[in-house]
Every structure is written in structure tokens, then in C-alpha cells.
Amino acid sequence: MPVTIQQLIRWKQQSRTIVALTAWDYIIAQLLDAANVDLILVGDSMAAVLGYETTLPITLEEMLFHAKAVRRGIKRALMVVDLPFLTYQDIQQAMYSAGRVLKETGAQAVKLEGGYPAMLEIIARLVQAGIPVMGHVGLTPQSVHQVGLKQQGKTEEDAERILRDAIALEQAGVFSIVLEHIPADLALRITQKLSIPTIGIGAGVHCDGQVLVTSDVLGFSDRQPPFAKVYTNLREKITQAVQDFSEEVRARKFPE
Ligand code: KIV
């Protein structure tokens, strides 16, 4: 049965942990979906796979192109697509960008960063228009030049602000919130306070679900954030396979 937004909310009520990963093409999406990942995010962290230094340069067109390929690989998981930097900062632009994502890719929802007042208004309008929105607070990589990539919510004041933003996002109508790189006790407070699921990344074990960037998990990336866990090293394995192939070709051992 395909995963729905209502199912995610029921899973929170049943304390059934949600598994989420990112995807950027058909093959990765197919593998994650077949492995029963519940939520597949076409995250703008895909910028790293495309060779960008930060998530800022990635365009809506690039997100749409990759999201369409991901969609073709999914049978079961809920699919969410990030709106890239500066494609949702006023209501008309947000409606246009989110509308294109839902209409052209077949994703079920979009994700936006930030819980400040102007963003809350935009989110409320998208939700009223029938566009499911996932929130994202804590470390928001699209603000890298203002806040860096360090852990957020370390001071009591900052923790209170993030908690307030998360509550306001729920009131604005998001169906779930990503909590990125915040202390575990703050993630626990937010998770207990909200009736929608929290999906943590570098936010401790108490969230309703966990997400990681798949290129980190698979050891594709040349550098990972401190909270990522590398489950296999595909960089090494691919290099070895390519060297083996090259040697056999040069020695005329392949083809046999
Ligand atoms: O872009 C992304 O992959 C994300 C995750 C870090 C949650 O937003």
C-alpha cells in the first residue's frame, strides 16, 4: 500500500518510527522504495551530487528534472520535494513553484525551510490551496551564509525560538517537520509538543522518524556532516571496480 500523509500521522500516534532517505534519480529511488523506506525526499542536498558547494545554486528546473526520475522509481514511499532557495519567498512565487512540483512530478508534498512569520503566511496559503507542506527548522542549509552549518538551538533563547517556530508551523498546517542538527533534548521537547511527526537529522533518537542524505549513507560523498553515518563506502568500491575494469582492458583480459 502506498504511504500517505495520514499514515505518517497515524504512525506517530502508534510510535512506529518513520524511515526517510533522499533520492536524486530513478535507480536510487527504486532501491530505496524496494527496501521499504517510508518517505523519499528529493532534497536540495542533491546539489552535492551535482557538484555544487552549497544548496543555493540548484534551480527549480533541476529539482523538477530529478524529481521526475525519482517518481518513476517509487511504488510505495511518500515522495516529498524540496523547493530550492529563492523559489518560495513570496506567495505567488511559492504557489508557482509548489504547483509545478506537484503537477509535473507527481510528488505528494513540498518541503520549505524556516518558520519565521512571513514563511508561516506563505505555508498557510499553500496548505489552503491544497498543497501539502513539510516544514524544516533548526539548521536550514539555505541560510548557510547567515548561520553557517553549525548546530542550532544550543542556547536557551535559540532553543525557545526553534520550539516556537515548530509550534507555529504546525498551526500553519504543515503535516510534518524536519528537525536538523539540534540538541536531542530540544528535539524531544518539540516531538512531545506536536501532534504531527518530527523527522530528525542530527537531532537525536527521540524524533518520530529519521532522515539522512543517501549519498552520505552510501559513502558517495567526499565529506559528510558530523551526524551522518556511513553504512558502506561506495566511493572505494566504485574506484576499485573501475581500476579492475581498466586493468583487464589494458591487459586484454576483458572481453574474454
Ligand atoms: O536537502 C535535504 O536533503 C534535506 C535533508 C537534510 C532533510 O533537507
Report the pLDDT averaged over residues 240-253: 98
Q: Is 201 in the pocket of ligand 1 (CB under 6 A)?
A: yes
Is residue 174 over pLDDT 90? yes
Q: Is 113 in the pocket of ligand 1 (CB under 6 A)?
A: no
pLDDT of res. 223: 83
Residue 222 is predicted with a pLDDT of 82
Does the beta carbon of 217 lie inside 6 Å of ligand 1? no
CA of 82 from ligand 1 middle (Å) equals 8
Q: Tell me how crowded residue 59 is: count the other CB atoms within 10 A of its CB.
A: 13
Q: 18, 21, 22: which to mutate for ligand 1, most atoms within 8 A of CB?
A: 22
Distance of CA 94 to the CA centre of its chain: 18
pLDDT > 90? residue 24? yes
pLDDT for 72 equals: 98
pLDDT at residue 221 tops 90: no
Summarised one tens digit per residue, pLDDT across range 130-166 is: 999 999 999 999 999 999 999 999 999 999 999 999 9
Kindly list the distances between the CA atom of residue 27 and the CA atoms of 71, 94, 205, 240, in Å, as whole numbers in the listed order. Answer: 11, 29, 29, 21
Residue with CA nearest ligand 1 atom 5: 43
Decide: 60 in ligand 1 pocket, CB within 6 A: no
Is the full-model pTM beyond 0.85?
A: yes
Q: Whose CA is nearest to atom 8 of ligand 1?
A: 43
Percent of the chain residues topping a pLDDT of 70: 100
DSSP E strands in the chain: the ranges are 18-22, 39-42, 78-82, 109-111, 133-138, 176-180, 198-201, 209-212
Least confident range from 96-105, 134-143, 215-224: namely 215-224
* Nearest CA among 47, 48, 23, 49 for reference residue 35: 23
